[in-house]
Amino acid sequence: MESDIHAMQRDLDDAISSRRAAEDRADKLALDFSRAQDQLRLEQDNYNNAESLRKQLEVQLREITIRLDEAESTKDGKKPVAKLQARVCYPCTITRQR
């Protein structure tokens, strides 16, 4: 009978140890999950900021293109045309590099 008690005590100790190990793993996984959520939020913010900047640059490019077309339509617009072409080509090179 005493050997049965010792065996049950060992089984109980093993079960308690296994439970503690499982709780430790669960705590670690919860922490990893929380970190992953934070990282995802940061990446989403970065994406939204980059998308907003891209849209702003597209608007600027359209405005500059309109100004370039207006400048080209005038006779004495050669100097302004060169400046505007340089400004238009700069965003183009950024877009092409992607």
Number of domains in the chain: 1
Show the domain range for 20: 2-97
Report the pLDDT value the prediction gives residue 40, as an integer from 0 to 100: 98
Q: Are 87 and 64 in contact (CB under 8 A)?
A: yes
Q: Whole-number mean pLDDT of the chain?
A: 87
68, 59, 72: which is closest to 88 by C-alpha? 68
Which class for 76: exposed (0-12), middle (13-18), buried (19 or more C-beta within 10 A)? exposed
| Each residue's pLDDT tens digit, 39-56 | 999 999 999 999 999 999
Q: Are 88 and 66 in contact (CB under 8 A)?
A: no
Report the pLDDT value the prediction gives residue 76, as an integer from 0 to 100: 64
pLDDT of 33 higher than 90:
yes
| Each residue's pLDDT tens digit, 71-81 | 777 766 566 66
- pLDDT (average), residues 16-45: 98
